[in-house]
């Protein structure tokens, strides 16, 4: 069908081009007007060759006469000035006719050249159209062949799997148990059952073929992802090489003595046992604000902190939900102070943890108990503060709550401790993640894949959440909490820990999981160069256990 369509279209284009050229040629020529140096096929256009030569010779003579006349016209003023009276001869009637015929011949030669150009242009267009049609026909034929091959393979598979049913049918007929001529009720029932079995086999085979095609498509996507991962790895290697060159230049500059002023160092005091210490880095970057009215100009909702003590370092990380409601007091933005928001919740929980985490471990209090104490303390403090507001401000807060618009705020939580012997103890409530790395026989670091907090949480709403309610009977505000879910994980012999919020993109997460040599140091150096594309606040805590030899 497609082949007939394209062949018909090709014929139309060729016919149209031929008619255009023929029409232009017919309007450009008349019988007897063709020059002797051009040979044309139509008989009515042919002229006597000798006559054409004679006319052409006369035309050349007339042209020579005209040339001499023009020369005479040029010399005429000069000759008159010297007293000469030239005798001029007017061109004869025959010369004038020859000149006119020469002009007509030149015009027709030009017209013939134009027609020839049109013809070649149409021939080129037709050739291009033919090539395009051939390519399309080849592609369609390949698709048709592939479909035919798939159909033949499907029929072959169905035939091979239904061969036993067909054999059973033939055997029953041969033995006389199944009548082919006069079918009774039992024969019809047996035939229907065989038909159902064949249909079920066909359905299963179609399902298998569809799944096979889907798996091939997924394999292709996976291959493309591998290619992209290799490209990212190569780009990361280039960045590392560039950083190394910059470091060499800086070292050369410092050694050359071109520093403008001497560098003052703070005196360093060692611990009684300086064999091991923990180095900590915190990197934060605020994402775009999600307030529709652009009234929220604060940096973000992430809160991070560390507390370094001898032989141990405590750390905590909170990620407030930025698109939740917030309640503030103050008339102008400069006087505004948050009373109820995710930013304030993350900050309040973090401050409580900072004040009590060391005492928590000294008193052997579990991390989940510390988190419950922090939640209850913040809940009580917020409730007292909101209820102590003036009546007009409480009325402004109460009105939307009575209408059913209860403000909500929430935050994720990570609290942990890393000892100088490599023991790691972490609590998580939310979708932030912890990636611990251990040394692998002096060949760099390796991720502990069995550490649960390297993956996404399995709980539906595992975070601290507050909802502001109003009790009309008591004429007081109340804060209700969710049933918070949490988990605790431990690890040993940890050398490096990455703790980060969900604002850190999946690309960095995949690179950390790759266990490539030097990936830990590469991520630390180049995290600021990698666009995360998460449109969220980004916080990364890196704890590294330094062992002095």
The DSSP string of 389-406 is S-HHHHHHHHHHHHTT--
Query: Coil, strand, or helix at residue 97?
Result: helix
Strand partners, 419: 312
Helix orientation angle between 185-255 and 506-513, rounded to the nearest 10 degrees: 90
Instruction: Look up residue 92 and give its two tokens.
Output: 């004869």
Is residue 33 over pLDDT 80? no
Residue among 464, 463, 460, 433 nearest 449 (CA): 433
Is residue 231 over pLDDT 60? yes
- The answer as to CATH 3.60.40 being correct for domain 291-500+535-547 is yes
Residue 1 has, within 13 A of its CA and on its CB side, a CA count of 1
Return the higher-pLDDT residue of 384 and 163.
384
Is there a contact between 447 and 437 (Cβ–Cβ < 8 Å)? Answer: yes
Is residue 167 over pLDDT 80? no
pLDDT of residue 263: 43
Angle at 13 between CA 10 and CA 14, to 5 degrees: 85
What's the pTM value of the predicted model, to 2 decimals? 0.50
Judged by average pLDDT, the poorest of 38-52, 61-75, 85-99, 214-228 is 38-52
Is there a contact between 194 and 168 (Cβ–Cβ < 8 Å)? Answer: yes
pLDDT of residue 413: 95
CA-based R_g, the chain, Å: 47
pLDDT level of residue 90 (50, 70, 90 thresholds):
low
pLDDT of residue 21: 44
pLDDT of residue 48: 45
Is residue 350 over pLDDT 80? yes
């Amino acid at each position: 069908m497609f082949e007939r369509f394209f062949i018909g279209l090709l014929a139309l284009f060729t016919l149209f081009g031929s008619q255009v050229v023929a029409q232009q040629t017919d309007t450009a020529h008349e019988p007897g007007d063709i020059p002797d140096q051009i040979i044309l096929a139509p008989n009515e256009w042919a002229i006597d060759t000798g006559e054409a030569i004679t006319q052409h010779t006369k035309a050349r003579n007339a042209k020579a006469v005209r040339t001499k006349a023009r020369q005479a016209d040029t010399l005429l003023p000069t000759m008159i000035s010297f007293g000469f009276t030239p005798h001029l001869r007017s061109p004869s009637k025959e010369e004038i006719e020859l000149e006119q015929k020469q002009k007509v011949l030149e015009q027709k030669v030009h017209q013939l050249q134009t027609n020839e150009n049109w013809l070649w242009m149409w021939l080129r267009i037709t050739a291009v159209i033919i090539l395009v049609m051939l390519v399309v026909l080849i592609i369609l034929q390949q698709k048709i062949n592939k479909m035919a091959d798939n159909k033949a393979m499907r029929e072959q598979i169905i035939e091979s799997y239904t061969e036993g049913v067909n054999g059973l049918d033939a055997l029953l007929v041969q033995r006389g148990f199944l009548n082919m001529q006069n079918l009774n009720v039992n024969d019809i029932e047996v035939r229907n059952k065989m038909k159902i079995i064949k249909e079920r086999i066909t359905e299963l085979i179609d399902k298998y073929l569809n799944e096979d095609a889907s798996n091939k498509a997924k394999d292709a996507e996976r291959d493309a992802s591998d290619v992209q991962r290799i490209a990212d790895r190569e780009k990361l290697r280039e960045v590392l090489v560039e950083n190394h060159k910059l470091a060499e230049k800086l070292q050369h500059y410092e050694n050359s003595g071109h520093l403008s002023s001497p560098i003052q160092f703070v005196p360093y005091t060692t611990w009684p046992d300086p064999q091991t210490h923990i180095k900590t880095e915190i990197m934060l970057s605020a994402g775009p604000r999600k307030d529709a009215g652009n009234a929220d100009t604060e940096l973000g909702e992430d809160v991070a902190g560390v507390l370094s003590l001898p032989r141990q370092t405590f750390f905590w990380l909170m990620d407030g939900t930025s698109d939740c409601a917030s309640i503030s007091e103050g008339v102008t933005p400069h006087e505004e102070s948050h009373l109820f928001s995710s930013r304030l919740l993350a900050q309040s929980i973090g401050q409580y943890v900072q004040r009590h985490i060391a005492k928590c471990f000294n008193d052997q209090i579990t991390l989940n108990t510390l988190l419950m104490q922090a939640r209850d303390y913040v809940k009580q403090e917020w409730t007292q503060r909101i209820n102590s507001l003036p009546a007009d401000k409480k009325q402004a807060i109460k009105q939307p709550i009575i209408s059913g618009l209860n403000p909500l705020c929430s935050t994720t939580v990570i609290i942990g401790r890393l000892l100088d012997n490599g023991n790691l103890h972490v609590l998580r409530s939310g979708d932030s993640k912890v990636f611990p790395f251990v040394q692998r026989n002096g060949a760099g670091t390796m991720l502990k894949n069995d550490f649960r907090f390297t993956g996404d949480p399995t709980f539906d709403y595992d975070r601290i959440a507050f909802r502001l309610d109003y009790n009309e009977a008591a004429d007081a505000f109340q804060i209700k909490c969710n049933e918070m879910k949490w988990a605790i994980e431990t690890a040993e012999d940890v050398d490096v820990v990455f703790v980060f919020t969900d604002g850190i993109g999946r690309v960095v997460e995949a690179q950390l999981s790759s266990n490539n040599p030097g990936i830990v140091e590469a991520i630390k150096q180049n995290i600021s160069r990698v666009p995360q594309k998460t449109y969220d606040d980004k916080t990364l805590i890196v704890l590294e256990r330094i062992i002095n030899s």
